[in-house]
A = this chain, B = another copy of it.
Amino acid sequence: GLLCELEPSFGEFGVYDLVITDTGAGDVLCSLTTIKEPVNIYLPLLICILGLIFLWVVCSASSYFWSKLKNQCLDASSPGNTQPAPGSPDDKDIARPPQRQRLKSLDTFRGISIVLMIFVNDGAGGYWFLEHVTWNGLQVADLLFPWFMWIMGVCVPISIKSQLKKNVPRLKILTGVIRRACILFLLGLIINSLGGTTLETMRIFGVLQRFGVVYFVIATLSICFTSQTYGIPKGPVVAACQDIIVLIPQWLIIILIIGAHYAIVFHLEVPGCPMGYLGPGGIQDNGDFRRCVGGATGYVDRMILGVNHMYQNPTENEVYKSGAFEPEGIVGCLLSVFQVFLGVQAGTTLTFYQEWKDRLKHWLAWGTASGIIGAILCLASKEEGWIPVNKNLWSLSFVLVTSSFAFFLLSACYFLIDVKFWWSGKPFFYPGMNATIMFVGHEVAYNLFPWHWSVGAMNTHFMQLIEALWGTGLWILVAIWLYHIKFFLSL
C-alpha cells in the first residue's frame, strides 16, 4: 500500500533523509529532512551570462577606441581620406543606398540561429529549458532549425531576382539549384554516417537533407513564377500589397501543399491507430497506441523509408519508449516548404520596398498575423489545442509560431543593424556568413578537441556550460578567421 505521500522539491546535489516511523496501529509518520542543501543550478548560468556581457562590453569598447584612434591617425596623415562615420545622418541615404548594400541583418539573423544551434547541440549546459521539448510545446532549441529554414527562404527571391537581372537563363539558375540541393543532401548523409556506416541501417533524412529538398522546391517555384519586370502598381492598396500579389501563384501551390499535409495527417488510415492521432505513442495513454508514434507522419516514413533508415533516438523515445521516429521525415517536408515560403514572403518584401518603414510594417504585420493564427490553432496551449505546436511533426501551428518569432527577430535585427546602425551584428554576423561550414563543422567535430573536451565527471551545470560556451566560442572564432581570410563557402 501507500506508505508516504510527499511532494518534496529535490534539488541537484542535495542530500535528503527520509525517516519513516511506525506510530503503531498501522499508521506511519514520514519526515523528510535536508542533510545537504542542493546547489543553485541557475547560478552558473547567471555567472556565464554576466561573463559574456562583460566580454561583449570589453570587446565593443576596445574596438570603438581602436577605430577612433585609427581615424585620428588617418585624419592626421591624410585629411582628405576621411569618410563620414556610419550612422551620421548625411551618408545614410546618399553614400549607401539601402537597396545596393548587402543587408547585414540577414547574416546576423542566420548567425544567431547557427550559434544558438551549436550551443544547444553542445549540450546547452544541461539545462532542460534550453534543450528540445519532448513532444508538444516549444523551448529555445526548437526555434533554431525553423529560423534557419525561414532565413534561407528570405534569401531565395533576392538571389533569383539578381540572377534574372543579370540575364542568367532560368535553366542555368535551376541547374545551380539542383546542384546545391544535391550537395546539401550528400552533406547530410555524411553527417548521418557519424553514427555508423552500415548501409542496412543508415538514416536517410536529417537537417541538411530537409534543407536540400525544401530549397529545391522553393527555389524551383521562385524560378518559375518570378517575373523579370513588373508593371507599376495601380492604386494605393495594390501598391501596399504588391509583394503579396506577385506571390499569388506560389501562394496557391503552397495552400495546396498545406491541404495535402492536412489530408495525410488527419485522414490517412494508420492500421491500429486512431485517425488523426498526433501523440508520441509508446507508453503514453497506458500504451494504447504503442506503435503509433507521430500518427500518419510516422507511418508514412515507416512505410517508405523503413524503420531501419529512420532516426533511432528521437526526443520522445527517452520518455515514451516509442522507438524510431524521423523528425525530418517526408510528411514534415510539406509544411517545411510553407515555413521557407514565409521567408520567401519576407524576402519579396525586401525586393519590392526600399523604405525601411515599409519593410518593417510588412514584416511586423506578417509576424502578428502568423502568431495569432498559430496561437488559435494550438489554442495557446501546450496539449489542448486543435493542432499542438510540435517540432517532431512540424505541425502547422509550429510553423506559424516559429515564423512569427522569425518575422519579429528579423525586424529587430534590421532596425538595429541596417536602419539605425546601433549594432554591427557582431559576433553573430560572422558565423552567419559561413553557416554551412559552421553547421557541417560543428556536427563533424561533435566530439573533437579543441571544441570538445572533458575533465573529470563533467556532472555540474557549470562545467557543462563552460564546455558548451567554449565550443560555441571557438566556432565563432573560426568564423571570424574565415571572414578575415575572405573564405566564404558558396555551394
A residues whose Cβ falls under 8 Å from a Cβ of B: 186, 189-190, 192-194, 196-200, 202, 444-445, 447-450, 452-456
Given contacts A197-B454, A454-B198, contact A192 B449 (CB under 8 A): yes
Contact of A202 among B189, B190, B194, B449 (CB under 8 A): B449
Contact of A194 among B448, B450, B456 (CB under 8 A): B448
The reply to whether A448 and B190 contact each other, CB–CB distance below 8 Å, is yes
Q: Smallest distance from the beta carbon of A196 to chain B beta carbons, Å?
A: 7
In the bound complex, CA of A447 to CA of B191 (Å) = 11
What are 18 residue pairs bridging A and B, where the CB atoms are less than 8 Å apart in the complex?
A: A189-B450, A190-B445, A190-B449, A190-B450, A193-B447, A193-B449, A193-B452, A197-B447, A197-B448, A197-B449, A197-B454, A198-B453, A199-B453, A199-B454, A199-B455, A200-B455, A200-B456, A202-B453
The reply to whether A186 and B447 contact each other, CB–CB distance below 8 Å, is no
Q: Which one of A197, A445, A454 has the greatest number of beta carbons of chain B within 10 Å?
A: A197
In the bound complex, CA of A202 to CA of B455 (Å) = 11
In the bound complex, CA of A456 to CA of B200 (Å) = 8
The 7 tightest CB contacts between A and B, nearest first, are A193-B449, A197-B453, A193-B448, A197-B449, A197-B452, A198-B454, A199-B455
CB nearest neighbor in B for A193:
B449
Q: Which residues of B contact A190 (CB under 8 A)?
A: 445, 448-450
In the bound complex, CA of A474 to CA of B6 (Å) = 62
CB nearest neighbor in B for A202:
B449
In the bound complex, CA of A247 to CA of B450 (Å) = 39
The reply to whether A450 and B199 contact each other, CB–CB distance below 8 Å, is no
Q: Which residues of B contact A197 (CB under 8 A)?
A: 447-449, 452-454
Instruction: Determine how many copies of this chain the complex contains.
Output: 2
CB nearest neighbor in B for A453:
B197
In the bound complex, CA of A189 to CA of B449 (Å) = 7
In the bound complex, CA of A190 to CA of B453 (Å) = 11
In the bound complex, CA of A193 to CA of B189 (Å) = 22
Q: Which residues of B contact A192 (CB under 8 A)?
A: 449
Q: Which residues of B contact A189 (CB under 8 A)?
A: 449-450
Q: Smallest distance from the beta carbon of A306 to chain B beta carbons, Å?
A: 15
| Further pairs besides A197-B452, A200-B455: 6, Cβ < 8 Å | A190-B448, A193-B450, A194-B448, A197-B447, A198-B454, A199-B455
Q: Smallest distance from the beta carbon of A194 to chain B beta carbons, Å?
A: 7
CB nearest neighbor in B for A194:
B448
Q: Which residues of B contact A453 (CB under 8 A)?
A: 193, 197-199, 202
The reply to whether A444 and B447 contact each other, CB–CB distance below 8 Å, is no
CB nearest neighbor in B for A467:
B197
Q: Which residues of B contact A186 (CB under 8 A)?
A: 450
Q: Which residues of B contact A202 (CB under 8 A)?
A: 449, 453
In the bound complex, CA of A454 to CA of B199 (Å) = 6
Q: Smallest distance from the beta carbon of A212 to chain B beta carbons, Å?
A: 15
In the bound complex, CA of A18 to CA of B194 (Å) = 45
Q: Which one of A189, A194, A454, A456 has the greatest number of beta carbons of chain B within 10 Å?
A: A454
Contact of A444 among B200, B444, B452, B456 (CB under 8 A): B444
Q: Smallest distance from the beta carbon of A201 to chain B beta carbons, Å?
A: 10
Q: Smallest distance from the beta carbon of A200 to chain B beta carbons, Å?
A: 7
In the bound complex, CA of A192 to CA of B447 (Å) = 11
The reply to whether B447 and A196 contact each other, CB–CB distance below 8 Å, is yes
Q: Which residues of B contact A198 (CB under 8 A)?
A: 453-455
CB nearest neighbor in B for A448:
B193
Q: Which residues of B contact A196 (CB under 8 A)?
A: 447
In the bound complex, CA of A450 to CA of B199 (Å) = 10
In the bound complex, CA of A271 to CA of B139 (Å) = 60
In the bound complex, CA of A202 to CA of B445 (Å) = 16
Q: Smallest distance from the beta carbon of A42 to chain B beta carbons, Å?
A: 27
In the bound complex, CA of A153 to CA of B197 (Å) = 37
Q: Which residues of B contact A199 (CB under 8 A)?
A: 453-455
In the bound complex, CA of A196 to CA of B194 (Å) = 14
In the bound complex, CA of A449 to CA of B448 (Å) = 18
